[in-house]
A and B are shown apart, each in its own frame.
Chain A
Amino acid sequence: MIPAVLELNDVAVGYTRGEPILRNVTISVHPGEAVALVGRNGTGKSTLLRTMRGFLPPLDGQVMLKGHRLQSMGPQTLAATVGFLSPAIPQAHITVDEVIELSSLGRLKSMQQLEASDHPDVFAEVSGFGARFLDEMSSGQQRKIMLLALVAQWTDILLMDEPELHLDLPSLRELHGLISWATAKGKSVVLSTHNLETIRVLPDRLYVVGDKTVREAPRTEETVQALLEGSGYTPRA
């Protein structure tokens, strides 16, 4: 079996001061897999993603990236290994070309170069936005730029905190196309989502976050109904 690229073994996550938000988290993600984290607001999905990215140290246990302890990796190595899409919308007066350049860690210097390289054919609406300022577009357009910036970073692991935010329905389809394209190239995607369409069609596997822990759930209509009702939100072990 191909070894996991991202592994959490009995990890506790949370902010350094205070109780862990999640305990006994065990997740493994393989190359080419798309994994979704679902669960109610405030259960700790974002905190978990931030721990996977190394923004927060695990309070217990180890996060392993491609066989290395995340804690032992330097910021530059991490940036080249695991990319993160923030739910925050940046209000920066900076051009799209520069965002792409910075995200690509210097490989690319413009939106045009990204489009000329091997990249998913999505979000045509923002192609040619290279010279535009990020804070002068709609939040949906900004979101598309940040998704393309994640592609420009071209890491083996892509973490997305609610990637559907601000996207219109056709763009949601394109987002799914982007993720499928990335996984087909052997990339691993972990995303948090509240989007029914995403939950139904996209992930290879589903993890439900709730009750201070994370459990894997089958990707079935039964699980979706339980999620919708909220009652059976925590699946049977």
Chain B
Amino acid sequence: MSSVLPVPDAGVRRHDVAVLVSTATVLLVVTGFSVFFGSAGLTPSEVLHGLRLAIGGTPMGTPEAQIVMLRLLRIGLGVLVGASLGLSGFLLQTAFRNPLADSYLLGVSGGAQLAVTLVALLGLAGTVASVPVMIAAPLAGALFVLAMLLIISRRIGHDLLAFLLSGLALSYMLNALYSILVSTRPDILSNTIFWSWMGLNRASGTGMAVVAAGLAIAVPAVMSLMRPLRSYLVGDDFAQNVGVNVRTTRISLLFLSVILAATDVAASGVVGFAGLFSPHLARLLTRRTDRTFVVLTMLMGATIVVVGDLMARSVSASEIPLNTVLSLFGAPYLIWLSIKSRRAV
């Protein structure tokens, strides 16, 4: 019965392939374009020369090659973090059945950041760079915030804006705690603050590996959870009626979302709004909530972060934090969404 999966008809499949290919092409063009821009002010021919060296296996051959290599790392991390943030946002929006959810807005990223800072402050500064701590600390922080959100959402019920407001308040509090911690020991945390502030400028192979590991866990899990995920989206009674365990589904979605958000914070600090935007942009291209939609969401996230980062490092002489650039676009969008959701009520 349930093993007989319906075969999508040719029209649907053609549409899916078309939107996937065009979205991937946009991402490819944006990343390619992105290599040529940056604060170093290289000319296109210098970049091309550097690219040849970097690809040819001598990335440290010339200063140009070194800069190009750094840019490639940064763009690579941007693509991974963007895809991860997009997927995380989709899972969070699904789990809370709230299109306004985002790991930054609800304080999940803030919790991860605070946890890392605490670890650094507790004299474990030397270990912050070590990979297990780099993953465990933000994960613990993000899970703690998630638990608080679950308690809040249970009390609030299905009021989208009230829940968002509580999440925002929570993230302000976490940010305040973070600022206090940083001001007490600026020496130890000078590294951390910069890292959490800027975004992708500390791109490293390790950071990329951490984010990739998060995606390697979450993507197959989400793809295999599509039926419960979609049934859950319709409602608790509906899901249970078609044989889906509501609790397990909700917890799986939240846990996967938090893993992604935590690895993103570990690699690039707090980056907001990409998780909010991505599913909404993907929705403009396809109506069904299927695997195509999930891939589109990740492609959108990657594109948003790469474009955002490109702006962050080209609009002014000194670099602007990525989060600032995304907030510039994200905040008005959020206001518009709130107006729209209020009208729908």
Interface residues of A (CB under 8 A from B): 53, 55, 74-76, 78-80, 83-84, 86, 88, 90-95, 97-99, 101-103, 105-109, 131, 133-135, 146, 149, 153
Contact = CB atoms under 8 A, between A and B. Distances in A.
Contact of A108 (B6, B99, B236, B287): B6
A79 B241 contact: yes
Given A75-B244, A75-B245, A91-B158, A102 B230 contact: yes
A98 B289 contact: yes
B345 to A, nearest CB: 10
A153 B235 contact: no
A92 B2 contact: no
Interface residues of B, number: 31
B288 A53 contact: no
Chain B interface SS verdict (over half):
loop
B1 interface: yes
Name which of B4, B234, B236, B245 has the most chain A CB atoms within 10 A of its CB.
B234
B237 A88 contact: yes
23 contacts: A75-B240, A75-B245, A76-B1, A76-B243, A80-B1, A80-B243, A86-B237, A88-B236, A92-B97, A92-B234, A93-B99, A94-B230, A94-B233, A95-B288, A98-B230, A102-B230, A102-B238, A103-B238, A105-B243, A106-B6, A109-B6, A135-B344, A153-B241
B287 to A, nearest CB: 5
B2 A76 contact: yes
Nearest to B228: A102
A163 to B, nearest CB: 14
A88 B97 CA distance: 15
A131 B287 contact: yes
B99 to A, nearest CB: 7
Nearest to A74: B243
Nearest to A79: B243
Contacts of B3: 106
Contact of A86 (B4, B241, B245, B288): B241
Contacts of B235: 86, 88, 90, 92
B242 interface: yes
A134 B4 CA distance: 25
A167 B230 CA distance: 26
Nearest to A159: B241
Given A105-B243, A153-B242, 14 more contacts: A53-B241, A86-B235, A86-B237, A90-B238, A93-B283, A95-B287, A95-B289, A101-B6, A102-B234, A102-B238, A106-B5, A109-B6, A133-B287, A135-B344
A107 B4 contact: yes
B248 to A, nearest CB: 11
Nearest to B158: A91
A102 B240 contact: no
A16 B81 CA distance: 45
A216 B31 CA distance: 71
Contacts of B202: none
Given A76-B243, A79-B243, A98-B288, A92 B4 contact: no
B323 interface: no
Interface string B211-255: 000000000000000010011011111101111110000000000
A106 B245 CA distance: 17
Contacts of B244: 75
B97 A102 contact: no
A109 B11 CA distance: 14
A10 B22 CA distance: 63
B157 to A, nearest CB: 12
A88 B245 CA distance: 18
Nearest to A90: B235
A137 to B, nearest CB: 12
B8 interface: yes
Contacts of B242: 79, 102-103, 105, 153
A73 to B, nearest CB: 10
A85 to B, nearest CB: 8
Contact of B241 (A84, A94, A98): A84
A97 B242 CA distance: 15
Given A75-B245, A131-B287, A55 B1 contact: no
- 4 nearest interchain CB pairs? A109-B6, A86-B237, A79-B243, A75-B243
